Structure 1
Amino acid sequence: MKFCENQMTDNFLKNLIKQSKDSIPGKVFTQAKNCFIDFLACTLAGAKAFYEKDLAYIDSLEFGNGASSVIGLPPKCSLQTAALINGMNSHVMELDDGHRKGAVHVGGTIFSALLPVAEKEKISMQDFLYGAIIGYETTIRLACAVQPGNKLRGYHATGTCGTVGATMAIAAALHFDFEQMKSAFSAAVTSAAGVLEMQEDNADLKPLNVGRAAMDAVSAAYLGKARFKAPNDALGGKRGFLAVMTDEAKISFLKDFENDSFSIMSIYNKPYASCRHTHPAIEAAMKIRQQPGFLLDEVESVCVHTYKLAVAGHDHKLVDGVNSAKMSMPYSVAVALFTGNAGLNEFSKANVADQRILDIAQKIDVVADDEFTALCPQRRAALVDVKTKTGLFSARIDYPKGEPENPLTPEEFRQKIEGLMSFAGYSKDVCEKLIDIVYRPEFTIDEVINLL
């Protein structure tokens, strides 16, 4: 693939630099705080779920030696290991934020990389949040530029684009000059990786794509800080990021920066503990459940009509564990029909083994719809048709809860944070203290770490 642009790396980085800390509106910094709180809650819950595996990994590799804190775990580790474990744990519950058009999870990689660096370097709250904003900008723009080709090639954009975004977050927070930033960016490009096969067969390793991206971002950032010389164009070169990651790059996302538009403002916040592709159908199932005359016992068949990218890898009816269930459209719709929800509890081991839910899942087919495929990624829509003994019940969702067009209310967001922290074993009082710290005009990373 040949690109007509010259020096794409330099031009992209110059656009990023134009988004100076002083030019960013207060509402954007508030959004970064929202994202940070969401990350912390997701990561604490993930640390609870992966606690024994995390400790076994740390003990075998480092014996708990190091100076960097791991969210929700007692031992301290190296910078890179802390970023790795935090990143993995942030994605375990499938409730971390993301971006519709980029088909990418964002906050997990960025904050997992930023946090141990901020702890080490004593980064101020404003610089920490500024780094996060630049990281979101980088990840989302790169992901939008390479999708859907990146996904179709089997890559997980959270790993590929997230590595680069998390690196730029650190570079911005540490005030790298242009030479350092280009070196770090290029090191991140050659580190970018992550394949979607990790979500198959009830595997535990999909979160590794997040953790590895954060870990490699730390290494890439410090290579940049040390001024390792970069190639001329790691982004647009003939064997660069775009050429490798997609068949057709959407260059406009890499050069059309608007001063009043920040990518962090366009993320989604997940209310349901499953892959985002399942959420429109989940909400449609919930609406059907409330329709007059609908009786679950009378369901004969269910058809989910949705966009093509939501079908492959998500249409399996047989689930052999929690991770498999979180990726399954049939299970997700079935549990929503059965319980009226799709939160943490609905994806528990007990529910995933509940034969009543599994029987409903066997009745659910998932098909690609031409209209919805054409609408994607502007909309991620689904139409659910449920045929019962007495008639047909249908519901369509174009913007599932959590999208910018249909955001969580402040109360819904708070309930999500409280629910995740409760799962992790933290009291409501600790949750309130965390929220108070992060939303103060000034806070330190040590205050957050010491509380948790």
Structure 2
Amino acid sequence: MTKNDGYLTDLFLEGLEKKAEQALPEEVVKEAKLSFIDYIACAYLGQKILKDKNEKTLAFLGNDSGNAILIGTGKKVSSHTAAFLNGINAHVAELDDGHRYGMMHGGAPVISVLLAVSGDKKVSGDKFIKGMVMGYEAAIRLAAAIQPGHKLKGCHATGTCGTVGAAMAVAYMLDFTKEEKKAALSAALTDAAGLLEMIDNTSTLKPYNIGRAAVAGLDAALAGISGFSGPYDAMGGKRGFLQLYAGEKVNYEYLLEGFGDKYVIQMIYRKPYAACRHCHAAIEAAMVCAKESGIDISDIKDIDIKTYGLAVGGHDHKEISGTSSAKMSTPYSVAAAIVSGQAGFQQFEEPYLSDERIATLMDKVRVEEDPELSKLVPDKRGAIAVISGQDKEHTVRVDYPKGEPENPVTEKEMHDKFISLLGAAGISEEKAEEMLEKVWKTDSEFDELLKALAE
């Protein structure tokens, strides 16, 4: 199947249908459950982080009643409010899953909209998982096809392609017809938005792009089910999505065929560090380098980080204006990780943000592009850390930071992450363990999980 075989919108949907027609393999269902576990943990923590902002939103909306779960509050709200706030909450801690080829996060927009719709539509756990898998498939196929040009244009793929993924997730969970899917996809493509400018300076609006993607995906699905029809080719038309949002090159194989026999959800990364994923290889290389070198922190003269070009611009700043700014900064992330030995969500909040040891070490960090590492993207997104002391230096290279499929987070590590993040959100270990058991039974006891999430 090539771009010359018809309208790209139709061909894209045909490619998705080939996947959707197959019974989901057991290993794919397992990956979906792991993604759900990751999402729930991030959403609980996000609600804790943004509690004041979320309460202001709900107060402004007034009597926003509905059947959709707002995770971590014990409240049920309208589907739009749930999609929006859960989407924001699931991303704000910068611990949600992603995909290195697509340079985007799939879970926050896709799972948020599915949970929002599940409040009003009685769906089975099997259908929910199918919606998840196909939502990831749609969003990340599209993102991978237009990266890195999409990012270089200043577009935030989790906002743009996440909208498409959210719409398709609903369409597949609820078994839309072919015509309804095309209309929903067309609506999502015209709704797609997200500026990377939102990560700069003192902005805290990066998670807004994700919440908006979930809501826009819901609206696009409503357009599809309501009987609207789109143009022949909203994706590939002369004024379509690719014309506006793709760079000079589109990878039509990723767009139309995906990644061969693998499902996209089998290729995602899961994050152990609470910084932008572009910082992770540097964080890991620096932590290992500092430990192996034996150089005392006070004796470090320089920390040189060499990495791929896309991880430099927007991530090499040393003026830290708050948590969001710190999470985007490789110098801060590296310094905090070396000083504390960790890069969890706590390291991007006070008292670490004001820690003089971190500030002093951060000034010694230099970040620059290594053209050879840039050539390896997206197959590898690595970094080299060189730490120099008074009389010696040490070098460590990381090609696949922890969490990539080639260096995966284990089930035990995911368990510990879940318990830890829920604990930080005020949930007891006993209750967290009970909820985790229910997530593993999503396909058979979905209603019980929804009840637990609503508490």
TM-score range, shorter chain: over 0.9
Name the counterpart of 1:368: 369
Per the alignment, residue 131 of structure 1 pairs with: 131
Q: Match of 1:27?
A: 27
SS for the counterpart of 1:105 is coil
Q: Amino acid of the residue matched to residue 41 of structure 1? A: A
Residue 256 of structure 1, CA deviation: 2.1
The equivalent of 1:255 in structure 2 is 256
Name the CA distance, whole Å, in 1 between partners of 2:21 and 2:165.
Answer: 17
Would you say the 8 A contact 2:293–2:393 is kept in 1?
no
**Residue deviations 1:318-340 (CA, integer Å, cap 9, x gap):** 21211111100000000111111
1:68 Cα shift? 2.0
Q: Structure 2: which 5+ residue stretches go unaligned?
A: none
Structure 1 counterpart of 2:445 = 443
- Segment of structure 1 superposing worse, 300-309 or 433-442: 433-442
**CA pair 257-344 structure 1, distance change in 2 beyond 3 A:** closer
Letter in 2 for 1:303: D
- Structure 1 residue 389, shift from structure 2 partner: 0.9
Aligned equivalents of 1:108 and 1:303: distance in 2? 33
Of residues 203-212 and 285-294 in structure 1, the stretch that sits farther from structure 2 once superposed is: 285-294
AA matched with 2:78: S
Question: CA, structure 1 residues 304+5, in 2 after alignment: closer, same or farther (shift >3 Å)?
Answer: farther
Pair 1:199–1:342, CA change in 2 (3 A):
same
Aligned positions of 1:134-149 closer than 5 A: 134-149=134-149
Q: What SS does the corresponding residue of 1:366 show, helix, strand or coil?
A: strand
In 2, Cα distance between equivalents of 1:121 and 1:375:
44
Match of 1:429 in 2: 430
Quote the Cα distance in structure 1 between the aligned partners of 2:236 and 2:383.
36
Query: 2:406 aligns to what?
Result: 405
Deviations 1:204-247 (A, max 9, x none): 21000100000011111011011201110111111111111112
- For the aligned residue pairs, the C-alpha RMSD in angstroms reads 1.4
How far apart are 1:446 and its partner, in Å? 5.5
Q: Distance in 2 between matches of 1:259 and 1:373?
A: 25
Secondary structure (helix, strand or coil) at the match of 2:306 reads strand
Q: 2-side partners of 1:50 and 1:75: how far apart?
A: 15
* Matched residue SS, 1:305: strand
What's the TM-score, normalizing by structure 1? 0.97
Q: Distance in 2 between matches of 1:319 and 1:140?
A: 31
Per-residue CA deviation, residues 261-296 of structure 1 (Å, 9 max, x unaligned), is: 211100000000000011101111111122153211
2:281 matched to which residue of 1? Answer: 280
- Alpha-carbon distance between aligned partners in 2 of 1:57 and 1:90, rounded to the nearest angstrom: 16
Distance 2:336 2:192 in 1: 36
1:40-439 equivalences under 5 Å are 40-247=40-247, 248-257=249-258, 260-439=261-440
**Length-normalised TM-score, structure 2:** 0.96
Give 3-state SS (helix, strand or coil) of 1:400's partner.
coil
- Partners in 2 of 1:36 and 1:351 — Cα distance? 30
Contact 2:68 2:118 in 1 (8 A): no
Q: 1:104 is paired with a residue of what secondary structure?
A: coil
Instruction: Report the Cα distance in structure 2 between the residues aligned to 1:356 and 1:153, rounded to whole angstroms.
Output: 36
Deviations 1:84-113 (A, max 9, x none): 000000001000000001101110000011
Describe the SS at the equivalent of 1:341: coil
Matched position secondary structure for 2:155: coil
Matched to 1:356, the amino acid is: R
Is contact 1:21–1:130 with CA below 8 Å preserved after alignment? no
State the one-letter code of the partner of 1:293: G
User: Runs of 5+ in structure 1 lacking a partner?
Assistant: none
State, as a whole percentage, how many aligned pairs show the same letter: 43
AA partner of residue 428 (structure 2)? S
Q: Distance in 1 between matches of 2:260 and 2:26?
A: 14
The answer to whether the 8 A contact 1:41-1:420 is kept is yes
- 8 Å CA contact 1:372–1:382 kept in 2: the answer is yes
CA distance in structure 1 between the aligned counterparts of 2:170 and 2:394, rounded to whole angstroms: 50
* Matched residue type, 2:363: Q
Q: Contact 1:202 / 1:322 at 8 angstroms: preserved in 2?
A: no
